[in-house]
Structure 1
């Protein structure tokens, strides 16, 4: 698992700088393209360009890491059938111990929890950056009176925000359950 933690750490360091640089570059382009706009529109254009380039750049930067971290959750349960995998996932994500200490199912659940503790934050960050990159270009259109561009932009941004809130809460619950599981195993 040490190798997976190193992959995640390097990905976080790299992605932080890529997302910040992408946001700055996008903001500069937004400032260049927003001549003649009122202050609010100009601010939304700058923010939209920055979110778009920074978010998409960060999401693309995290893709190799999430691809490498995926097996850390799949490997411990690869030989189990679907109902057994579901039992392991539910036990880990709920924070309840699985099986007797030292049993094969307990070892599998512990390995799955360690992989989830490393890969879930990276997957959540990639998801949030991707949605920022998708929603960013729609920000300047939010204030338009046009039914098509303004209405579609408002609907898309509202949908993205609601989906982001729901999935972020889901990732957070899974991560908290995983950490509770690891803490419970550590106490034994």
Structure 2
């Protein structure tokens, strides 16, 4: 499973990167076209907004499709477990501690889940960043046509989204570090840690 998933994630990252770059280039072109004749600040906002919006949404769609294709492989570690078993496995992996109650089957599932998450969490983080970039980019474009309260609302929305985005990225990074900690403990302690 590891080699197949690793290769699938690698292809998904490469495809998402290319689509995002292509979308960003298209976004710049559209921004330049839409802002022809505007003053330099408005033109810059439209170009940057177009780059972020089209690039971000294109990358998000590509990453989402890739994750959908991988869903059978990524859900395999918890398939067939009851709700308590799924919670125990996920709690152990995200907390970086042994599975409780100690059960060899759950320990193996937790090791598989940690392996899957170590490969897919970075892709999920990138998808989140691209989605937020797309949403923020569309709001930046909207600043050009807004005035008064509308512009203030968009600026507040962008600031709130940036703050929320940073918090979520920090939490996702923390989860990735916990998964890595769990995997390191498995490699150090072997089955004794997992079970």
Q: Is the 8 A contact 2:88 2:100 kept in 1?
A: no
Distance 2:109 2:68 in 1: 21
Query: Helix, strand or coil for the counterpart of 1:174?
Result: helix
Confirm or deny that 1:47 pairs with 2:48.
yes
Distance 1:83 1:57 in 2: 37
Residue in 1 aligned with 2:117? 116
Distance 1:49 1:11 in 2: 24
Distance 1:94 1:73 in 2: 19
Residue in 2 aligned with 1:85? 86
Deviation at 1:100, TM superposition (A): 9.5
Q: Is the 8 A contact 1:48 1:137 kept in 2?
A: yes
Query: Helix, strand or coil for the counterpart of 2:37?
Result: coil
Aligned residues: 187
Structure 1: which 5+ runs fail to align? none
Instruction: Give the TM-score of the pair, scaled to structure 1.
Output: 0.89
Structure 2: which 5+ runs fail to align? 190-195
> Deviations 1:32-65 (Å, cap 9, x if unpaired)?
2212322222111100011111111111111221
Query: Helix, strand or coil for the counterpart of 1:26?
Result: helix
Residue in 1 aligned with 2:153? 152
Deviation at 1:162, TM superposition (A): 2.6
Q: Comparing 117-126 with 46-55, which one deviates more in the overlay?
A: 117-126
Deviation at 1:102, TM superposition (A): 8.7
Instruction: Give the TM-score of the pair, scaled to structure 2.
Output: 0.86
Q: Is the 8 A contact 1:30 1:45 kept in 2?
A: yes
Coordinate RMSD, CA, aligned: 2.1
